[in-house]
Amino acid sequence: MGIQEDINWLKDDPDRIAVFRSIAKLGLATVRALKDDLRMDDWWPVKYHVNNLLGRGLIGDRGGAYALTEAGKNVFESVKTMAAELGQV
């Protein structure tokens, strides 16, 4: 997958991109930390998006905590740049 395809995939679901951005912000995050950071009532939507991000190769499992992979870091930098250009930072 290319960076643009990954960005479009992330943007297709507001909760998906929120989980991705939260992992980027926290650096290394458990499902519980993500649930708390995103103020979600249940853990299962977080786990669903974490599994999708793992499958896409944008995050990696570090013993029950999750962090961006190199591909995920590249996508996140592109998302930040696009947001800054649009005045959304």
pLDDT digits (tens, 9 = 90+) for 1-55: 688 999 999 999 999 999 999 999 999 999 999 999 999 999 899 999 999 999 9
Report yes or no on 22 lying in a domain.
yes
Domain coverage including residue 37? 3-84
pLDDT exceeds cutoff 80 at 82:
no
Report yes or no on 49 lying in a domain.
yes
Report yes or no on 69 lying in a domain.
yes
CATH number at residue 36: 1.10.10.10
Report yes or no on 89 lying in a domain.
no
pLDDT exceeds cutoff 70 at 88:
no
pLDDT exceeds cutoff 60 at 87:
yes
Number of domains in the chain: 1
Report yes or no on 24 lying in a domain.
yes
pTM: 0.89
Confirm if 19 and 26 have CB atoms less than 8 A apart.
no
Report yes or no on 16 lying in a domain.
yes
pLDDT digits (tens, 9 = 90+) for 57-76: 999 999 999 999 999 999 99
Distance between CA 20 and CA 57 in Å, rounded? 12
Report yes or no on 74 lying in a domain.
yes
Task: Tell me if residue 45 falls in helix, strand or coil.
Answer: helix
